[in-house]
Structure 1
Amino acid sequence: MRSGESAPNKARALITFIGISVLSGALAAGLAIPLAGFAGISSEQVVKTVQDLPVELEVEPVAVRSRMLAADGSVIATLFEQNRVPVRLNQIAPIMKTAIIAIEDSRFYEHGALDPKGTLRAMVRNHGSGEVQQGGSSITQQYVKLSLIEKARTVAERQKATEVSYERKLTELRYAIALESRLTKNEILERYLNLVNFGDGTYGVQVAAQHYFRTTAAELTLPQAALLAGLVKNPTGYDPTNNLARAKARRDLVLRRMLELKVISVHQANLALRSPVIDPAKVRPVPNGCANSRYPFFCEYAVAQLLANPALGKTVKGREHTLKTGGLTIRTSLDPRTQAAAQASINARTKPTDSAVAAITIVQPGTGLVKAMVQSKPYGNGRNHTNYNYNVEKSYAGGYGGFQNGSTMKAFTVAAAIQAGVPLDYRINSPQRIDLSNKKFRTCSGFTRDPDYTPGNSTRGGNLTMVDATRYSTNTYFLQLSQRVGLCQIGRVASRLGMYNAQTLQPLDQVISMTLGVGYVTPLQMANAYATFAARGKYCRPLIVLSVRNKANRPLETPKSQCNQALKAGVADGVNKVLSAVMEPGGTGGRLKFGRWDLAGKTGTIQENKAVWFAGYAPNLAAAAVVADANLPYTNLMYGHTLDGRDISDPTGSGTAGPLWQTAMQGALKGLPVQRFVEPSKKIVNGDRKGLPDVTGLDRTEATNLLRKAGFDVTIANKLVASPVPTGKVAYTDPRTNSGATRGSLVTIYLSKGPSQGP
């Protein structure tokens, strides 16, 4: 009110406003604002304001919570801005409709968009107090106001939708009149009961019934309906979980109003008044978001996939809004039974207080379905908790980005060698230590070398076949094999099987030590790559989100299973044969074999034991387990690190990561049919050997030209060897002439220094 305005002027303003409203066909019932708000407003202003208002209310789709489901249909998480599940009016108990009408708008079915009696009563009371004490808004007007608030996307829009002003009330009024002209009373009541806030984070009558009473809107009783109806006026103030006494007083007020209106009997009222307001034990909070999920890390990874899906919106912000308001039903690949098996392994073999971290991912071969994803540090910000997902790449805020993978990389060298026609019994002399300084290794862009590289074995060496070298994980064998096959081919095989640097998302580096581990990779990548071997070379991109349906149960476009034959089936059969040897007695995974299953796998230990792996599979499931130091700078797991509350005494793939893999796979495979690997063909076993020209006794130039003409790559050994062949001539080649070699493979020429001198 302007300073000095007299009471008669205020009265004239009120009468003018109501008169103009009547003449314009827009009687302003429900204007629950102080009279001061009209001071100084002319009738012309009011008419102009009314005439300028839009007629139709553009109602936003009601925000509906989304659900993320596991593969079996169980709920993983609920995601919402407002916790709401809409229901039809015939799914709401009649007593609920009676209660809300009694306390909020008792003449709802008798008046139009507004109630003149209620409005004038509210105006008089508010005028007498100089402030808003009583609302006179009809249910239709309340619905309009709630809809305008729902549409607000900014703070300014929300303030405008809730401000105490005649402009807002006129806007609501015009919208309410238009709404009643095109909707029935029942349609308006249904929308209202689904939109309104019922306190404690619940929106809509269905969720409120579930939350407070563990029932449905259709099954609400009189005292329950009265409580919910009373909450609408002040959802926070009358929330029974905050203030039971205030909630009871408000509920009882609703019951007395219902009795006054004779919509319930005295007997019904007395019974309801004596009943408890709520049973606290029955209040069922609905957890919101991944942080409250049973599987928070998997949930967050699934959300990351969804936020990258343009079908949910043009922007990430828009997709997030759709995700939390669109009433989506999201079905994922997670299998609770498999997840429980993996979690049981983590629980049995680790503790959250351990200084080392452990993680396991399980994938179904031939589909890419990610069945389980677990880790030893629980989700959260507290001590011994983490928000990092140690199973996945660094493509979103929670992705840790992997660990160096050690000798699990040798499996891709095996695949590249078999693909190149190398036989499974291919022998290479593999000493305990080898000097590869300045040796050339082929890459996709040329060659690479290390001026000072003398690696050794942590296991046995000797004149080994590919099967033996894999069983023992002999480094010097695989370094020589990778030199002969070429780093480019190993890199290409790994890439086709989904391997890349999980930190940078770039291809793996083609360095001399590539076969011993390179870059940073994740349990998800390793499990899925090894699943390709199990699926006889069929690679499928990891699949987390299987389907998304909107609230109308219509499917939204989601990435489908993307599979291709990354390796020939026979090549994969050969890999399975070689990696199965790892699980046999004497192999690095020999202690991990169980049951009647065909099992294959590979250990991995990175330099200085900073991370240890075991990746392995049966024909119907593949898993990768890692134990690592996740704190920079990474340190040796043997020194100062614990797992399961004890010092780590055997920081190897077989001794530390292997048992985690074993327990998880035993549980996951339980009840599944026993399947067998396909035996590789004779061609795969024997390889595609080509005869080597005998160059013994030739000079280096002549021998090199002859071998290259036959289709081989050639290198000269750094050191001369004792031989009866004249000094400077070719003593022998590796591989030997009688062994043969695959076309394009590397042949090393050893030059003679003459016969060895005796003592």
Structure 2
Amino acid sequence: MGGGGQGFRTSIRSLNKFLGVSVLAGALAAGLMVPFAGLAEFGSKKAAESVESLPQELETEPPAVRSRILAADGSLIATLYEQNRVPVPLSLISPIMRKAIVAIEDSRFYDHGALDAKGTLRALIRNQTGGSVQQGGSSITQQYVKMSLIEKAQTAEQRQAATEVTYQRKLTELRYAVAMEKEFSKDQILERYLNLANFGDGSYGVQAAAQHYFRTTAKKLTLPQAALLAGLVKNPTGYDPTNDLKRAKERRDVVLRRMRELGVITAKQTNDAIKAPVIDKKKILKVRNGCASSRYPFYCDYVVSKLLDNPALGRTPKDRDHFLKTGGLTVKTSLDPRIQSAAQASIKAHSKTTDTAIAAITVVEPGTGLVKAMVQSKPHGNGKNETAYNYNVEKSYAGGYGGFQNGSTMKAFVLAAAIQKGLPLTYRINSPAQINLSGKKFRTCTGFTRDPDYRPQNSTRSGNLTMVEAARYSTNTYFLQLSQRTGLCAPATIAADLGMYNAQTLQPLDQVVSFTLGVGYVTPLMLSNAYATFAARGKYCSPVVVTALLDKTRKPIRTPSIDCRQAIAPEVADGVNRVLSAVMEPGGTGGRLNFGNWDLAGKTGTIQDNRAVWFAGYAPNLAAAAVVADANLPYTNLMYGHTLDGKDISDPTGSGTAGPLWQTAMEKALDGMPLLRFVAPSNRVARGDTADLPPVSGKSPDEAANILRQAGFDVVISDERVDSPEAEDTVAYTDPRSRDGAPEGSLVTIYVSNGQN
């Protein structure tokens, strides 16, 4: 026997010395790639002290489990994970899988305690005589302890300590393993092991591995499949069949022969399994990770941003992000795939990814705030004609662009303020093609504001118009004068109550003279949700994308839910709906966007120099806002050098450019939904909350002003002289007219006759 006998005797002497301290501690040496001289130097006294000082219990971290984000119909939006893992109980793991892993990793698992002394001794002798580690001596329990310590490690130093080749680490693992065997049954330990183990190619735990490699479940694994997975645990990368099919087969067959050697399977089963294909690469199921690989990446990013704001998921955003990717959460959202598809179809029909202009649409459900769809023309990515910006949301969220100026869509809030003040829907204001508001006072919430040089004009119809007519034609000079009568505080307050603020700065919208023609930067999400409030008869609901949040045990986690309040009186909203419905009538700026038999209301918006155009509108069931804009600084006129749907933009208006996007999306989204109607405004709203207005025609302006002030009205005398049968320099008429009356305390403008009939 010569050298072989001498090596054996040396191994026995070394083992006996180590067992002098502890049988358990000594046996650990079999798994270490160190010379046995080091063991002698370690010393039996030191070993004993180390064992006594070790902790008694292993505090394991819950294994990282992937989380899922789901659409409203339960379909998958995205999977988020640090480790792709789906834990399952042992009862849902096939018996042949359990037998395969025990056979190859710890065949006496059910017969020994935390340490397999017989197996360790066998490995010790084989390793010592071979001069290297050829066979491990760690039991399944010890392996589970090591995996748990690695899983628990938060830093590079902790990970190094969990994997370093030292006696101290092996002793630590052993002491923990002893504690584990006292606390848990063998089946419980095996279940934990199979759910924690790395099975290669990004699959952690046997369930995820079964799904990934075979598109099956852990419960349905066959013998050759189980043998392959069992073989992967030793070297998940080296035996990964997607890396090296030949080496994976060799390892699988080693497992099968070991199972045969132990009598777990028959010779025929072994031979049949060896002949079976290793994997069908066409069936490999890649579980995509993160929002970038989602069908709805921008919506998904917004959902994740909202989750990272939720303190119930952790103390800091970093803690929340980690929990989101490891906590096995189920995130249910408001996204409706059918409505999302309708909005996406509109984007596809009216834009191209190569366009220089961008288009975006958000759809919201009135009365709930549920965000049903969120789409845009530029796809998610960092390549050419792609973007990481979400053009639908505020700048405060990951990737949020921060909105665009929204033009005349702000007129809706001035309408609401006027109706709330008691002005009738028939309220007339003389609205010429251009007016001079330079230096004119506009009341704000804190005082007054002026614009020293402001001469706005109309791009549509002018004249002595009612509120309904002015909305139909989007007459600028009417609404500017209307906002002078309401003051700026009321419409600004209503806008804020309906969720409108500056999406860039997150500050309130400025109360400036041109408020009604557009102010600040707003998003499609904000605007669609604000208009949804009108559709819901004044009930404002905070936008909701996360409808439920469940932990891995299906227990609810606190998350902001549907939050609604009556922001404006129902009868005020009814009046706004009636006025904005006129926009959709023939001759209105939205007249060509009408469809079907739906009750529709809406408003166009075009900002100065056509740098962005909007259409926001709604039915009782859904509200949507569409924007087309230049998203590159400095912003430029859409008419010059910009394309949409691959063509030069020739009609950069809310109705001509943004309107068709809104129409196509809404028509498809509303298809199949119940036909609901707006509530008609009450007589009080239609006629206004008016007081009698004393007739003053033919009187001197000063006398007329005194009469009107005594009746409780504010008065201004216009500098403009008008044609009238009344004598020159006497009152021609007032606005509003005496026959119409006016709300108490409202502004009455006196027009003076030029004496020309």
TM-score (norm 2): 0.95
Residue pairs, 1:477-556, within 5 angstroms: 477-556=478-557
CA spacing shift, 1:636–1:130, aligned 2, 3 Å = farther
> What is the Cα deviation at residue 127 of structure 1?
3.8
> What is the Cα deviation at residue 124 of structure 1?
3.6
- The whole-number CA distance in structure 1 between the counterparts of 2:29 and 2:141 is 11
> What is the Cα deviation at residue 187 of structure 1?
0.7
Contact 1:9–1:39 (CA under 8 A) maintained in structure 2: no
Contact 2:532–2:618 (CA under 8 A) maintained in structure 1: yes
Corresponding residue of 2:335: 334
Corresponding residue of 1:568: 569
Contact 1:30–1:115 (CA under 8 A) maintained in structure 2: no
Task: After superposition, give the CA deviation of every residue in 1:429-475 in whole Å (9 maximum; x if it has no partner).
Answer: 11111111111111111111111111111111111111111111111
Larger mean CA deviation between 488-497 and 719-728 belongs to 719-728
SS at match of 1:556: coil
Task: After superposition, give the CA deviation of every residue in 1:664-700 in whole Å (9 maximum; x if it has no partner).
Answer: 1111111111111111111111011222344556666
Residue pairs, 1:160-179, within 5 angstroms: 160-179=161-180
SS at match of 1:28: helix
Task: After superposition, give the CA deviation of every residue in 1:628-660 in whole Å (9 maximum; x if it has no partner).
Answer: 111111111111111111111111111111111
SS at match of 1:55: coil
Contact 2:68–2:80 (CA under 8 A) maintained in structure 1: yes
Contact 1:14–1:38 (CA under 8 A) maintained in structure 2: no
Paired amino acid for 1:542: P
SS at match of 1:361: strand
Corresponding residue of 1:655: 656
- The whole-number CA distance in structure 2 between the counterparts of 1:441 and 1:528 is 28
Corresponding residue of 1:4: none
Residue pairs, 1:128-143, within 5 angstroms: 128=129, 131-143=132-144
Corresponding residue of 1:79: 80
- The whole-number CA distance in structure 2 between the counterparts of 1:531 and 1:488 is 22
Residue pairs, 1:744-755, within 5 angstroms: 744-750=745-751, 755=755
> What is the Cα deviation at residue 117 of structure 1?
2.8
Larger mean CA deviation between 668-677 and 126-135 belongs to 126-135
Larger mean CA deviation between 362-371 and 117-126 belongs to 117-126
- The whole-number CA distance in structure 1 between the counterparts of 2:358 and 2:125 is 69
Larger mean CA deviation between 694-703 and 655-664 belongs to 694-703
- The whole-number CA distance in structure 2 between the counterparts of 1:9 and 1:633 is 81
> What is the Cα deviation at residue 421 of structure 1?
0.7
Paired amino acid for 2:395: K
Larger mean CA deviation between 55-64 and 707-716 belongs to 707-716
> What is the Cα deviation at residue 353 of structure 1?
1.0
Paired amino acid for 2:103: A
Paired amino acid for 1:31: G
- The whole-number CA distance in structure 2 between the counterparts of 1:511 and 1:297 is 33
> What is the Cα deviation at residue 17 of structure 1?
2.3
Paired amino acid for 1:515: T
> What is the Cα deviation at residue 722 of structure 1?
7.0
- The whole-number CA distance in structure 2 between the counterparts of 1:685 and 1:722 is 30
Contact 1:603–1:614 (CA under 8 A) maintained in structure 2: yes
Task: After superposition, give the CA deviation of every residue in 1:482-530 in whole Å (9 maximum; x if it has no partner).
Answer: 1111111110111111111111111111111110111111111111111
SS at match of 2:374: strand
SS at match of 1:539: strand
Contact 2:28–2:120 (CA under 8 A) maintained in structure 1: yes
Contact 1:33–1:123 (CA under 8 A) maintained in structure 2: no
CA spacing shift, 1:318–1:423, aligned 2, 3 Å = same
Contact 2:472–2:582 (CA under 8 A) maintained in structure 1: yes
- The whole-number CA distance in structure 2 between the counterparts of 1:281 and 1:490 is 60
SS at match of 1:339: helix
> What is the Cα deviation at residue 480 of structure 1?
0.7
Larger mean CA deviation between 214-223 and 314-323 belongs to 314-323
- The whole-number CA distance in structure 1 between the counterparts of 2:398 and 2:674 is 39
Corresponding residue of 1:406: 407
- The whole-number CA distance in structure 2 between the counterparts of 1:684 and 1:723 is 31
- The whole-number CA distance in structure 1 between the counterparts of 2:382 and 2:85 is 28
- The whole-number CA distance in structure 1 between the counterparts of 2:429 and 2:347 is 39
Contact 2:29–2:167 (CA under 8 A) maintained in structure 1: no
> What is the Cα deviation at residue 125 of structure 1?
4.1
- The whole-number CA distance in structure 1 between the counterparts of 2:239 and 2:123 is 22
TM-score (norm 1): 0.95
Contact 1:713–1:747 (CA under 8 A) maintained in structure 2: yes
SS at match of 1:263: coil
SS at match of 1:360: strand
Corresponding residue of 1:197: 198
SS at match of 2:42: coil
Paired amino acid for 2:319: G
Paired amino acid for 2:506: L
Larger mean CA deviation between 580-589 and 309-318 belongs to 309-318
> What is the Cα deviation at residue 43 of structure 1?
1.3
Could you tell me which runs of 5 or more consecutive residues in structure 1 were left unpaired when the two chains were aligned.
1-6
CA spacing shift, 1:168–1:708, aligned 2, 3 Å = farther
Corresponding residue of 2:4: none
Corresponding residue of 2:274: 273
Contact 2:485–2:746 (CA under 8 A) maintained in structure 1: yes
- The whole-number CA distance in structure 2 between the counterparts of 1:724 and 1:475 is 29
Corresponding residue of 2:349: 348
CA spacing shift, 1:461–1:611, aligned 2, 3 Å = same
SS at match of 1:742: coil
Corresponding residue of 1:34: 34
SS at match of 2:203: coil
SS at match of 2:84: coil
> What is the Cα deviation at residue 336 of structure 1?
0.7
Q: Are positions 1:246 and 2:221 aligned together?
A: no
- The whole-number CA distance in structure 2 between the counterparts of 1:27 and 1:52 is 18
> What is the Cα deviation at residue 348 of structure 1?
1.4
- Between the two proteins, the alignment pairs up a number of residues equal to 749
- The whole-number CA distance in structure 2 between the counterparts of 1:382 and 1:129 is 55
**Kindly, what percent of the aligned residue pairs are identical?**
70
- The whole-number CA distance in structure 1 between the counterparts of 2:14 and 2:513 is 90
> What is the Cα deviation at residue 747 of structure 1?
2.3
Contact 2:18–2:26 (CA under 8 A) maintained in structure 1: no
Residue pairs, 1:734-745, within 5 angstroms: 734-745=735-746
- The whole-number CA distance in structure 2 between the counterparts of 1:667 and 1:304 is 29
Contact 2:425–2:466 (CA under 8 A) maintained in structure 1: yes
- The whole-number CA distance in structure 2 between the counterparts of 1:38 and 1:426 is 99
Corresponding residue of 1:289: 290
> What is the Cα deviation at residue 727 of structure 1?
7.7
Contact 1:700–1:729 (CA under 8 A) maintained in structure 2: yes
Corresponding residue of 1:636: 637
Could you tell me which runs of 5 or more consecutive residues in structure 2 were left unpaired when the two chains were aligned.
1-6
Contact 1:32–1:137 (CA under 8 A) maintained in structure 2: no
Corresponding residue of 1:559: 560
- The whole-number CA distance in structure 2 between the counterparts of 1:128 and 1:714 is 109
Corresponding residue of 2:692: 691
SS at match of 2:85: coil
Paired amino acid for 1:258: M
Corresponding residue of 1:104: 105
Residue pairs, 1:402-441, within 5 angstroms: 402-441=403-442
SS at match of 2:628: strand
> What is the Cα deviation at residue 128 of structure 1?
4.8
Query: What is the root-mean-square deviation in Å for CA atoms of aligned residues?
Result: 2.1
- The whole-number CA distance in structure 1 between the counterparts of 2:649 and 2:121 is 80
Paired amino acid for 1:318: D
SS at match of 2:21: helix
Corresponding residue of 2:325: 324
Paired amino acid for 1:652: T
> What is the Cα deviation at residue 350 of structure 1?
1.0
Paired amino acid for 1:550: D
SS at match of 2:22: helix
> What is the Cα deviation at residue 745 of structure 1?
2.1
- The whole-number CA distance in structure 2 between the counterparts of 1:129 and 1:385 is 58
SS at match of 1:20: coil
Contact 2:590–2:603 (CA under 8 A) maintained in structure 1: yes
SS at match of 1:555: coil
- The whole-number CA distance in structure 2 between the counterparts of 1:496 and 1:273 is 70
- The whole-number CA distance in structure 1 between the counterparts of 2:118 and 2:351 is 70
Corresponding residue of 2:472: 471
SS at match of 1:650: coil
Corresponding residue of 1:380: 381
SS at match of 1:252: helix
Paired amino acid for 1:33: M
- The whole-number CA distance in structure 1 between the counterparts of 2:146 and 2:186 is 17
- The whole-number CA distance in structure 1 between the counterparts of 2:588 and 2:110 is 82
> What is the Cα deviation at residue 83 of structure 1?
0.8
Paired amino acid for 2:34: P
- The whole-number CA distance in structure 2 between the counterparts of 1:224 and 1:10 is 39
